Amino acid sequence: MGENSTRPLKIGAFIPVVEREMDGGTARGADVLAMARAAEAVGFDSVWVPDHLLIQDAGREPQGAWECGALLGALAVATSRVEIGALVVATSLRNPALLAKMADTIDELSGGRLILGLGSGRHEPEHRSFGYPFDRQIARFEEALAVVTTLLREGRIDHQGTFYKARECELRPRGPRPHGPPILIGALGTGPRMLGLTARYADQWNAWLTWGRSWPDAVPPLRRLVDGACTANGRDPETLVRTVTVLAEVPDRRAKLVSTSPTGGGEPLSGPPEAIAEALRGFAREGIDHVQVVHAPNTVAGIEGFAPVLELLDRG
């Protein structure tokens, strides 16, 4: 958002890095950077990438993806203003102490623009294919969170746990922020343990709405669950930044609507720029601080075609 903007919430652009999710095509490295630069140029507040290695959903041809950590490093130097983030890094695919080191390094490269999205890792086949365990995922995630957050916020840890070990570990040198980048946890609201971890550890919360209804009326039941988790853990709900990811058809742009759902579902935002802008204002009224948009088409043209929506939001 510009200095004089009246935009009611931040808007991010989701960059497709999975095979066949760039309007049916596969983004190469140059495409990823071009989309990020286009997003920055037309006024988006942030750019985001997913974290997968190999998606093997039943009934679909396998889909590979470019590795998330390397992409975040590239986006850090390809842009200069927008925040950069992951939705979300699977802690089960990386050693948590090394993940904290990666995050601090990317935050340094970006000048303090990283949002570190974290999740437990949902897709068993890619864990099997790349040799990572897939059991007790939430317990593994909880321990990984403790390691990552302690290292980023305090700079050191001496940890001997059930799944991970980091003995006399220290982050040196430190990145640009004394307590590291903000930590976002993806928890749609269906799992009380994940919501509890969000309340305890996260600076930001994300609900991935693209598999269902991408409209503001999807927020209230999720908000009640998140607020309840905060209260149950002794946290003021107002201290948790709220974000959602939506699917949106770009006005006046022909597109192959690519749902990221394993079942191909989703009810996207659609209509003229005025309707989409009003829907995004509706998210702000529901207490959402930041919306990440999966565009259709998810291309440079789709990102540029969203500019009229951003202009309407900036007018109030």
Cα–Cα distance measured from residue 62 to residue 58, given in angstroms and rounded to the nearest whole number: 9
Report the amino acid identity of residue 57: D
Long-range CB contacts (< 8 A, 24+ apart) of 37-40? 37/78, 37/79, 38/300, 38/303, 38/304, 39/13, 39/15, 39/82, 39/303, 40/79, 40/80, 40/81, 40/82
Using the Cα atoms of residue 86, residue 88, residue 93 and residue 98 in order, give the sign of their dihedral. Answer: positive
Q: Write out the chain's pLDDT in tens, 316 residues.
A: 545 568 999 999 999 999 999 999 999 999 999 999 999 999 999 999 999 999 999 888 999 999 999 999 999 999 999 999 999 999 999 999 999 999 999 999 999 999 999 999 989 999 999 999 999 999 999 999 999 999 999 999 999 999 999 999 999 999 999 999 999 998 876 688 999 999 999 999 999 999 899 999 999 999 999 999 999 999 999 999 999 999 999 987 655 544 444 445 679 999 999 999 999 999 999 999 999 999 999 999 999 999 999 999 999 7
- DSSP-derived letter for residue 25 is B
Length of the chain: 316
Strands 54-55 and 63-64: antiparallel
List the structure tokens of 18: 């999975």
**246 three-class SS:** strand
Instruction: Enter the pTM of the model.
Output: 0.94
Given this model, what pLDDT does residue 263 score?
45
Nearest to 181 by CA among 46, 81, 84, 79: 84
Nearest to 17 by CA among 78, 80, 69: 69
Domains annotated on the chain, with CATH? 10-314 (3.20.20.30)
Given this model, what pLDDT does residue 190 score?
63
Nearest to 248 by CA among 201, 185, 195, 313: 313
E strand or H helix at 90, and its extent? strand 89-90
Strands 290-296 and 241-249: parallel
